[in-house]
Amino acid sequence: MRRVLLLTTSTVPTSLLLGAIGVVMFDVVGLGLNVPVFTSACFAAVLGATRAGGKPLAIDRTMAGAIAVGWSCVFAWRASPALHSLAGLALATTLYIVYLWREFGSLSIPVSAFFTRLPPLTRAFLRGPVCAVRQQLNNADASCSLRATHTVAVARGLILSVPLLVLFGWLLISADARFAEVAWEFLALDFVSLLRSTITFGVCFWIAIFLLRARTVHLGGSGPARQVALQPLEVITVLIALDALLALYIAVQLTYFVGGDTLVRSTQSLTYAGYARRGFFELVAVGGLTVPVLLCGDWLCEKASGRIRVAQRFSSLATTILVALVGCSAAHRLLLYIEAYGLTEQRLYAAAVLSWVIVMLAWIAWTVLRGRRERFLCGALVSALCIVALLVLANPDARIAKINLSRAAIGQPLDVDYLLSLSDDAVPAILGYRNELDRDLRLAIDNALLQRALVYRAPAWRSWNWARHRANRAVFNWPAAEQPDLPRGAPRP
């Protein structure tokens, strides 16, 4: 019982300590090594509190901590803001998968649970500090109640002392010049920095207390699902109509494959660039919307008779195949677009989403259409995490720079402003192709990279990032004869 009391009453102090660590880690410009350090501290506190409560370390929580720390290391490895956002989303998704695993006892999780568990989990996050303090007060003994009474009395005394401190302080400042100088130096606070630190502390404290309470709090669902008055035959009709529309679209697209560039140029009000640019993101959206349509159709026909069920699955399989062909059309447009205009982050990440949609369609055919819908959710989320991991390993900004610079080396136009807007992940790739560019373009890129390197030359260790460190080292390791003139007052490497 004493250990349980220790476990519950240590939640708030541990969260306060983690909040202070968060202020120390994040009260600088830029994300880097501070993210994995804070994440490791949070999960070390969770595992330590679990051991202090006399409970064994569950395999799901240990795996969650290790994978979350791994995702947080992306912030210290890559410099791309897009990869940072995806890594943060992947970290939250990993924790949510582990939470659903604990709720259902296995990875066979109903698709509806992904949505029905979100509202209570969000409420638990928002009410975390209030519930933790209330639990601590309810579990306190008589001595703790007496200590709480003393704490309240001291707090009231501090509030009552404020007017007196202001009055006497003003009199003492007026009486002595040296005391006035010391007092004004003490009161010269940077309120913007103080507000930023307070917000950072609050966010870190909130996250820490939610993670610590999530060890023991069980959240139920949001009530029984509401019945939808839709007949299986109506679902099949919708799917067949959708199949007919998709088949008609694919038939039109086949004319482009057969006619090729000549047909595109001969079509009125349609240019080669317009064909390549138009419709790619819309086709990606079609693939993404097909997934919930197929899941809802399978759910509505779950209790249908044998023939109706077979018809629904065949029509869903036809929809899956047709949407996969639409995805091929979108990929063809993307390749034409890259060939004509180069690669950008938007196009690359849209291609990653398209790849994930194709994987999900194949996974639907393997699970949902074979009567194993409960296995779909975990596989879909894990495949998304795998694609994010592949993006992190592939270094998208470096690949974008290589493709665009290789096009520029053979005389294709180059958007220099966009190239220089890429993160420090792309700097080594840019330097690798600089000798193949003309002199004016090379000097413009060199000066821009050197100016950026001088800004980040000596960052705080908390915001250290491997990509920025490697980029700065590559810039300052240029041969002296190739370096542009440094600004006046700038340090020489």
Per-residue pLDDT tens over the stretch 200-255? 888 888 888 787 776 555 555 444 444 444 577 778 888 888 888 888 888 877 76
Structural domain boundaries enclosing 439: 397-482
Confirm whether 457 is domain-assigned: yes
Cβ-based neighbours of 210, under 8 Å, separated by 6 or more: 124, 125, 128
- pLDDT at 6 (0 to 100): 43
pLDDT value of residue 224: 47
How far apart (Å, rounded) are the C-alpha atoms in residues 90 and 74? Answer: 11
- d(Cα 67, Cα 87) in Å, to the nearest integer? 11
Task: State the pLDDT at residue 256.
Answer: 60
Indicate the pLDDT class of residue 493, thresholds 50, 70 and 90.
very low
pLDDT of residue 396: 92
Residue 386 has pLDDT above 60, yes or no: yes
Q: Count Cβ atoms within 10 A of the Cβ of residue 419 and give its class: 0-12 exposed, 13-18 middle, 19 or more buried.
A: buried
- Looking at the fold, whether 381 and 292 belong to one and the same domain comes out as yes
- Please check whether residue 471 is in contact with residue 453, taking contact to mean a CB–CB distance below 8 angstroms: yes
Residue 469 has pLDDT above 60, yes or no: yes
According to the model, what pLDDT value does residue 7 have?
43
Q: What is the DSSP string of 363-426?
A: HHHHTGGGT-GGGHHHHHHHHHHHHHHHHHHH-HHHHHHHHHHHHHHTT----HHHHHHS-GGG
Place of tokens 């008589």: 142
28 lies in some domain: yes
Decide if 84 is inside a domain.
Answer: yes
User: What confidence tier does 42 reach under pLDDT thresholds 50, 70, 90?
Assistant: confident
Residue 107 lies in a domain: yes
* Nearest-10 crossing angle of helices 177-187, 142-175: 130
* Domain boundary pick from 352, 370, 388: 388
Both 309 and 456 in one domain: the answer is no
pLDDT at 373: 83
Residues 136-186 have pLDDT tens digits of 555 544 445 555 555 555 665 666 566 666 766 666 666 656 566 666 666
Can you give the pLDDT at residue 161? 61
Give the pLDDT of residue 14. Answer: 82
At residue 73, the pLDDT reads 92
pLDDT digits (tens, 9 = 90+) for 83-130: 999 999 998 888 888 888 877 777 777 777 777 777 777 777 777 666
Q: Are residues 401 and 372 in the same domain?
A: no
Q: Considering the domain boundaries, does residue 86 fall inside one?
A: yes
Same domain, 352 and 431: no
Structural domain tally of the chain?
A: 3
Please state the rounded mean pLDDT for residues 412-439.
83
CA distance linking residue 96 with residue 76, whole number of Å:
23
Separation CA 493–CA 478 (nearest Å)? 9
Task: Give per-residue pLDDT as tens, 253-312.
Answer: 776 654 445 544 545 445 555 555 566 777 788 888 888 888 888 888 877 777 888 888
Token pair listed for 472: 């700065």
Mean pLDDT across the chain: 75
pLDDT at 3: 43
Q: Is the alpha carbon torsion for 450, 452, 458, 464 positive or negative?
A: negative
CB 399 within 8 A of CB 343: yes
Residue 31 tokens read as 């994300």
Q: Which of 157, 336, 188, 355 is CA-nearest to residue 256?
A: 336
> Shortest CA distance to 217 belongs to which of 383, 11, 463, 370?
11
pLDDT computed for residue 303 by the predictor: 78
Same domain, 7 and 98: yes
Three-class SS of 250-295: HHHHHHHHHHHHHHHHHCCCCCHHHHHHCCHHHHHHHHHHHHHHHH
pLDDT digits (tens, 9 = 90+) for 388-407: 999 999 999 999 999 988 88
Taking the C-alpha atoms of residue 392 and residue 399, their distance in angstroms, rounded to an integer, is: 12
Picking from 68-72, 118-122, 177-181, 357-361, which range would have the lowest pLDDT averaged per residue? 177-181
127 and 13 inside one domain: yes
* In a domain? residue 154: no
Asked if pLDDT for residue 357 goes beyond 80, the answer is yes
pLDDT of 71 over the 60 cut: yes
**Residue at a domain's end among 388, 412, 445:** 388
Q: Are residues 343 and 236 in the same domain?
A: yes
In this structure, are 306 and 247 located in the same domain?
yes
Stronger pLDDT, 152 or 131, i.e. the higher one: 131
The angle that helices 59-72 and 34-52 make with each other, rounded to 10 degrees, is: 170
Residue 275 lies in a domain: yes
Task: Give the Cβ contact number of residue 479 at 10 Å.
Answer: 6
Residue 312 contacts residue 377 (beta carbons within 8 Å):
no
CB 244 within 8 A of CB 321: no
Answer yes or no: do 7 and 133 share one domain: yes
Q: Which amino acid is at 260?
A: G
* 41 neighbors 21 (Cβ within 8 angstroms): yes
- Check whether residue 336 and residue 411 sit in a common domain: no
Measured torsion, CA atoms of residues 204, 206, 211, 216, in degrees rounded to the nearest 10: 160
For residues 331 and 468, membership in a common domain is answered with: no
> CA-to-CA distance for 44 and 61, rounded, in angstroms?
11
Answer yes or no: do 240 and 346 share one domain. Answer: yes
Q: Given this model, what pLDDT does residue 391 score?
A: 93
Q: What is the pLDDT of residue 225?
A: 45
Which of 95, 110, 138 is the C-terminal boundary of a domain? 138
Residue the block writes with tokens 């649970």: 113
